[in-house]
A and B are shown apart, each in its own frame.
Chain A
Amino acid sequence: MTGVRTAIVVLAGVVVALLGWSWLGGGDDGSDDATGGDVSADDDGRPAGTVTVLAAASLTESFTQISDELARSHPEIEIVLSFGPSSQLVEQVLAGAPVDVLATADMATMAKAADAGVLDGEATVFAANTPALVVPAGNPGGVAGLSDLEREDLRVAVCEPHVPCGAAAERLTTLAGVEPVPDTLATDVKEALALVTLGEVDVALVFHTDAVSAGEAVEVVPVEEAESVVNDYPVAVLERARQPAAARAVVEAVTGEIGRRVLTESGFLVP
C-alpha cells in the first residue's frame, strides 16, 4: 500500500513540476508585456486581442519570426500559430475551427475556402515559392537530378498529391517528364524535409524555403525546370474572425514591411 501511495505522490510531484515549468516557459511573453508597458496599449480603437493563425507548414519559420516581431511592436495582439498541410488547414476551417487568419501554400487550397464563403474579402498573395530537390548532407544516394526520383534503389519521399508541395512536385515532374517512384508520401512538406535531415530517405522534393531553413543538414540538387513551377501563397482574414481588426493587423504585417523582409530572408519570392 505504501508503495502505491509513494508512486502517486511521486507522479503528482512530476506533474506539478512539469506544469510549473510549462507555465514559466510561457513567462517570456509576460516579460515582453512588461517592456511593452511604455506603449499605450490601451488606446481606444487599437486592434487588440488573440488572433489564431493557421499557416502552411512551409511558413513555419517565417511566420514564427513575423509573429515575434509583431508581438514586440503590438504587445496588445496575441498571436497563436498553428502549422500543417494546407489542405488539412482548410478542412479545419470548413469544419468550424475558431480561426481568424488562414495562409496556405497554394491557390487551389485557398480557393476551396473561398468557394465555401468563409473568407472575409479576397485573399492576398504575399509570397511565392518554388520546388527544390534536396538530399542529406554528403548526398549518400549520389543524386544528380530529377530523373533520379525514378531510381528504385533510392529511398524517395514526395508529398501527398493533395498538399501544396505534392501538387508542386507533380507539376514539376510532369513538366520534366519524370515519373517518381516514392517510398512514402509525406503528409506535409516539413515531414518530407525531416526524412531527409534524418537521412532516412536519399532524396525528397520540398520547397526552396524548406531547403534554406534546413541549412547545412541538406544539399540542394539544382533542377532547371523548378523556376517555372511557382507556387503562390495567399493569406486571408476569415469571416467569423472574433478580432477582425487585430486579424487584419496580422495580415498587414505579413504583406507589409516586416513580412516582406522576413519572407525574403527565408528564401521566398515576394511580390
Chain B
Amino acid sequence: MLVVPALAGLALLLLPMAGLAWRAPWGRLPGLLTADHVLTALRLSLTTATLATVLALIMGIPVAWMLARDNVRGRGVLRGLVTVPLVLPPVVGGIALLVAFGRRGVVGGWLEQTFGINVPFTTVAVIMAQTFVAMPFLIIAVEGALRGADSRYDQIAASLGASPWTTFRRVTLPSVAPSVVAGAILCWARALGEFGATITFAGSLPGTTRTLPLEAYAAIGAGDTDTALVLSVIMVAVCVTVLVALRDRWVRAL
C-alpha cells in the first residue's frame, strides 16, 4: 500500500536530478566550465557566499546566544521573527530589503544623503541578500546546541574568575563548535543558492551581482540551455558535497 506513493515520491525527488545528469553536455563541460561568464559567476558566487557566511557567524552566533538565554524578555517572539526568512519567499525578502535599503527606502535614503552610500545593485547588496536568507540556518543550529549544552561548565568557569567574554570564548563556544561548523556550512550552501532576494534587491549584472543561479536563469532565458545545464550540475555537485560533509552531524546539529 505504501510502496506506490513512496516510489512516486522518490521519482519526483530524484528524476529531475537524473534528468540533469542525462541532459548535461558532458562533452562540452571543460569548455563551458572555463568560459569567462561561467568563471565570473562562479568567482562572484564563492566570494559572496563566503562573506555572507562570515557575516552570519559574526552576527548570528551572538543572536543565537541571546536566544538561548532564559533571561531575555520576548525571546519567543524574537526567535519567531529571526526564523521568518526560513519560510519567507526569497523574493519577498528582496522587496523588503529594497524598500529598507533602496534609494527611497527608510535606511537607504539616509545612507545616500549622509554618506553617499548606495547599496542596491552592488556586490554588497548580494551579500546582504544572502545573509538575510541564510543566517537563520546558522542561528537555529547554534541556538539548539547552546540550549542543549551543559551550563554548569560556564558556571564553573565563572566561579573560577573567568570574565563573561572569556567564558563564552573559551568554554561555551568550543562546546558547541560542531554545530557552529554544521550551521555555517548549511548557511554557506543556502547563500550560494540564493536567487529571489538577490535578483530583486541586487539586480543582475555580470561580474557585479550575477551569481551562479542568476547566470543559470539568464542562460535559460537566452536559450543557452547548455550553459544553464552546466551551472545546474555545478550547483547540484556543491549541494551533494555539503550534504555528504554533514551526514554525521545532520541529525545531531539540527
Instruction: List residues of chain A with CB under 8 Å of any chain B CB.
Output: 85, 87-88, 90-91, 112, 155, 157, 160-163, 182-187, 195, 198-201
Contacts and interface: CB of A to CB of B under 8 A. Distances in A.
B118 A182 contact: no
B218 A198 contact: no
Given A184-B204, A200-B120, A112 B221 contact: no
Contact of A162 (B120, B202, B221): B221
A182 B221 contact: no
Interface string B5-26: 0000000000000000000000
B98 A198 contact: yes
Contacts of B120: 200
B222 interface: yes
B209 A162 contact: no
The 8 lowest CB-CB distance pairs between A and B, nearest first, are A184-B203, A162-B222, A183-B121, A199-B104, A88-B221, A184-B121, A184-B205, A200-B102
Given A198-B98, A198-B102, A87 B121 contact: no
Contacts of A90: 223
A191 to B, nearest CB: 9
Nearest to B219: A162
A166 to B, nearest CB: 10
B56 interface: no
B199 interface: yes
Interface string B82-100: 0000000000000000100
Interface in B204-254: 204-206, 208-210, 217-218, 220-223
Nearest to B120: A200
Interface of B: 98, 102-104, 118, 120-121, 199, 202-206, 208-210, 217-218, 220-223
Given A85-B221, A88-B221, A163-B221, A155 B118 contact: yes
A155 B223 contact: no
Name the prevailing secondary structure of the A interface residues.
loop
12 contacts: A87-B221, A155-B118, A162-B223, A183-B121, A184-B202, A184-B203, A184-B204, A185-B210, A186-B204, A195-B203, A199-B104, A200-B102
Contacts of A162: 221-223
Given A182-B205, A183-B203, A198-B102, A91 B221 contact: yes
Given A184-B121, A184-B209, A187-B217, 13 more contacts: A87-B222, A91-B220, A91-B221, A155-B121, A160-B222, A161-B222, A184-B202, A184-B205, A187-B199, A195-B203, A198-B102, A200-B120, A200-B121
A198 B121 contact: no
A157 B199 CA distance: 13
